[in-house]
Amino acid sequence: MIKIIILLISLVSNIFIGIKILQKNKGINNRANTYFAFMCFVAGIWTILIICLLSTLNNNLSIILNKLIYSSTLLIIMCFFMFSIEFPYRVFKIKKALYYILILLTLIIFYIIFSPDFIIGHYTYNNNLYQIENNILNLIYGIYFIILFIISLLIFIRKYILAEGINKTILKSILLATIIPYILGIIFAWYFPHIGKHYLHWLGAVSALLMNLLIAHLIFKKD
């Protein structure tokens, strides 16, 4: 019950942050804010899916929920990547080849997730299916997620090196606000399930909320 309450708070907070960012974005064309708001909404959807997974006793529904959980986290990291390009402003162009490669890799992972051959095994808890266990997909997904996260961080680091004044301070804060929560999210939502400790994966949603709160604070502080 405590898990569900914490996740419900995370859900409401993410949706609230996303709405406030879109209200702030009204009347202006700020892509960074749009990508961040969408990332908050997807984080909210991810949290809903985790709540449903923790609450259901239906094995078939658990399988569907796990597929959607994988999918939503892919969208979160894609939004973060796009946010890193645009915030606080775009300083260089990303080669189209990189976009195409990332889109192709994302589509491949989506195909694997929704493929009928997705199920390799499953982890049961109290005689009920708790989380899908697919070590091959987990490994591919984890590598993809970590690489895209590192690329996003490198973009922020390069911007930080080039920036001056208040923008340099903001970018330094962004790096501090994202590194620790994302690493915690990777540990709880990917690494622990990958080594069999599935019962800790819900903490990834809490880490995502922490990061979103910190970034939202910096976005409002920036203006």
pLDDT in tens, 121-173: 455 544 544 455 566 777 777 888 888 899 999 999 999 999 988 889 889 88
Question: Is residue 73 pLDDT above 90, yes or no?
Answer: no
Percent helix / strand / coil, the chain, rounded to 5: 80, 5, 15
Question: Is residue 57 pLDDT above 70, yes or no?
Answer: yes
Could you tell me if 209 and 14 are in contact, meaning their C-beta atoms sit under 8 angstroms apart?
Answer: yes
What is the model's pLDDT at position 219?
A: 81
What is the model's pLDDT at position 85?
A: 92
pLDDT confidence tier of residue 120, bands split at 50, 70 and 90? very low
DSSP H or E segment with residue 194: helix 192-194
pLDDT confidence tier of residue 37, bands split at 50, 70 and 90? very high
What is the model's pLDDT at position 198?
A: 66
pLDDT confidence tier of residue 17, bands split at 50, 70 and 90? very high
**What is the pLDDT of the chain when averaged over all its residues?**
82
Quote the radius of gyration of the chain (alpha carbons, Å): 18
What is the model's pLDDT at position 84?
A: 93
Q: For residue 131, report the phi and psi dihedrals to the nearest 5 degrees.
A: -155, 140
Burial class (CB in 10 A: 0-12, 13-18, 19+), 165: exposed
Architecture of the domain whose range is 2-222: Up-down Bundle (1.20)
Burial class (CB in 10 A: 0-12, 13-18, 19+), 208: buried
Question: CA–CA separation, 110 vs 104, rounded Å?
Answer: 10
Handedness of CA 92, 168, 13, 66 (dihedral sign): positive
